[in-house]
Amino acid sequence: MKSIIILTIALLFVSCGSKEEHQNNYADSSTTAEAQEIYTCPMHPTVVSDRPGACPVCGMALVKKSAQADVSGEELQRLQHITLSPTQRVLANVATIPVERAPLTKMIDVVGIVDVAETQQATVSARFRGRIEKLYVNFTGDHVQQGQPLFELYSPELVTSQQEFILALDGNQQHLIAGIRERLRLNYGMTDEQIRRIEKTRNVQTTVQFNSPISGTVVLKQVQVGQYVDEGTVLYQLANLSKVWIYLDVYEKDIPFIRKGQIVHIKTDAYPNEEFTGRVTFIDPVMNPETRTVRIRTEFDNRHGRLKPKMFVKAQLQMAGKNTLIVPASAIVFTGKRTIVWVETQKNTFEPRDVVLGQAANEQYEVVSGLNQGDMVAVSGGFLIDSESALRHPSTANLHTGHSISANASSEEKEHSASIPLVDKQSATKTLRITVDGGYNPEVLHVKLGQKVQLQFYRAEDSECTSEVVFEELNIRKKLPAFKTTTITITPNTTGEIHFACGMGMVHGKLVVER
């Protein structure tokens, strides 16, 4: 009887253990199944959640995707390709064009100021001490011809020198005649004709008449009749305005496109429907350290006098570079860590290609490597293809989107590339991407009060001006490495505007904090 009781108790323990094990296995399988159901944003694959909801970045509804096991390298290569149905292609507005080899034409818009050509100016000053006896040109702005009388100057020393000259002539003192003649010409500005008149008439001229050295306009007059002047006193400044110089300030990134002799077109507010054409005549060899610009000098014909000195103008320079592979800017997908282009390898089948970009001009990029002439690239719908690929093959999203981290990424990269958690919309982290390329795009961003904001600055250039970003109100100054993404996280605690700028203070942007 005792044996039967012991056996019954043992069977009960075994039965309970099996039931508990079964329940644990069921729980594990349920947990696994539940873990496999994750949700992500079609436009922001880094946003993941274990339940349905809205994307905290863009507000789109999250869609379900399944976790996938690691795949082989060949499988990853295959999964990078994405095939769209004809209907999907139309809905996504995917258009392709062939990669062409052509000159990268750069249009540079700058402002400038009209100035007098230095080679077309003349300064008229007093050759000796004396008194102004007569003025022939009495107004600033008067037009004069070369050789036209300007003024007459009296000096006792001039009269004495002429009397000595006449005495030497009468006495036929040749050794004195040559010296006095040279003194009258150099010291007193008398012309050879005036000196010959003295030799012929033996009459002393009490004044000397001075004439205009060039044809042009009187731009400065600072003399009056009866005024006593010293030697070297500036009396007139003349300028020939038939040709003018226009100085333009060109940014550092545009310097490679400027050439001497290059055609320049300008417009003015005074003549909005008229275009003037000139040429680049000089490029300053030294950069302005404050504005980070290089001054170039252009020359324009101004025979009709329509371009006035000190007038502001808007200039446009067009420069065709060397033949190179070019693609539209709309074909480029900047992912932060990588720059890719979607190439149509077969009908409605696309694959991502890593590219290295060169110069950018007029919504086009030079392709240094990654593409071949004739490749069909998607110029519209590239971001939608990228998102579709990430949704279909989540395990390969890092291969083409750059939103996920790779397996061999450093711990720091993994930390900074972590997915954005799905939390309450009011407290969600908002990620804003800003492209730095001669300016901030966008330059105005709207955020919510108290919301954590990640500002991702992608610097698509290598100029010194944009090498760092400064938030003065927040006491933040951070370096921006070229062609990389730098993240700055802030949480606005007051409404209003938060301004940011480059280290030189030349490029500006702002955050508008709203309730």
- Among candidate residues 224, 239, 254, the one where a domain is terminated: 239
> For the segment 471-508, what is each residue's pLDDT rounded down to a tens digit?
988 889 899 988 888 999 998 888 888 999 988 777 88
Last residue of a domain, one of 384, 400, 416: 400
Q: What is the β-pairing status of strands 508-514 and 444-448?
A: parallel
Residue 284 placed within a domain:
no
Is residue 129 domain-shared with residue 154, that is, in the same domain? yes
Please list, in sequence order, all residues whose beta carbon lies within 8 angstroms of the beta carbon of residue 4, skipping any fewer than 6 positions away: none
Do 198 and 221 lie in a common domain? yes
Residue 69 lies in a domain: no
User: What total number of domains does the chain contain?
Assistant: 3
Do 193 and 168 lie in one domain? The reply is yes
Spatial neighbors of 23 by CB under 8 A, at least 6 apart, are none
Give tens-digit pLDDT for 411-457: 333 333 333 333 334 446 788 889 888 788 888 888 888 888 889 99
59 part of a folded domain: no
- What would the two tokens of residue 264 be? 């320049």
Strand ranges of the sheet holding 228-229, from the earlier edge strand across to the other edge:
207-211, 149-154, 130-135, 228-229
CATH (domain of 153) = 2.40.50.100
Residue 447 tokens, joined: 């955020």
pLDDT at 363: 81
Which of 64, 53, 51, 238 lies closest to 137, judged by CA?
Answer: 238
Residues 95 and 129 grouped into a single domain: no
Same domain, 228 and 338: no
pLDDT tens digits, 33-81: 444 577 777 666 667 777 788 777 666 677 776 444 444 444 445 546 7
171, 86: one domain: no
Instruction: Answer whether residue 307 is part of any domain.
Output: no
DSSP 406: P
For 262-275, what is each residue's pLDDT tens digit? 899 999 999 999 99
Domain-terminating residue out of 346, 380, 400: 400
User: Is residue 234 located within the same domain as residue 164?
Assistant: yes
In a domain, 40, yes or no: no
- What's the chain's average pLDDT? 78
Q: What is the pLDDT of residue 65?
A: 67
Domain-located, residue 25 = no
DSSP sequence for 459-482: E----GGGSEEEETTTTEEEE--T
For the stretch 497-506, pLDDT in tens is: 899 998 877 7
Answer yes or no: do 100 and 127 share one domain: no
Both 156 and 99 in one domain: the answer is: no
Report yes or no: 113 and 141 within 8 Å, Cβ to Cβ.
no
Distance CA 227, CA 130 (A): 8
pLDDT attached to residue 387? 62
Tokens describing residue 304: 């009709």
Closest CA relative to residue 365, chosen from 215, 246, 483, 239 = 483
- In this predicted model, what pLDDT tens digit does every residue of 361-381 receive, in sequence order? 778 888 888 889 888 988 876
| pLDDT at site 67 | 44
Residue 336 within any structural domain of the chain: yes
408 in any annotated domain: no
For residues 236 and 122, give the distance between their C-alpha atoms in angstroms, rounded to a whole number: 8
CATH of the domain at 364: 2.40.420.20
Residues 297-333: tens digit of each pLDDT: 999 999 988 999 999 999 988 876 778 888 888 888 8
Q: Read off the CATH number of the domain in which 498 is found.
A: 2.60.40.420
pLDDT tens digits for range 83-131: 778 887 777 778 888 988 888 777 888 999 999 999 999 999 998 899 9
Would you state the pLDDT for residue 34?
44
Cβ burial 408-436 (10 Å sphere, 16+ → b, else e): eeeeeeeeebeebebeeeeebbbbebbbb
Is the domain of 101 the same as that of 133? no
Answer yes or no: do 123 and 233 share one domain.
Answer: yes
Q: How far apart are CA 292 and CA 93, in angstroms?
A: 41
- Give me the domain span that covers residue 377: 78-106+323-400
Residue 221: pLDDT over 90? yes
Say what the pLDDT of residue 144 is. 94
Is residue 154 pLDDT above 70, yes or no?
yes
The whole-number pLDDT of residue 312 equals: 95
Task: Supply the pLDDT for residue 279.
Answer: 94
Q: Tell me which of 180 and 217 has the higher pLDDT.
A: 217
127 and 210 together in one domain: yes
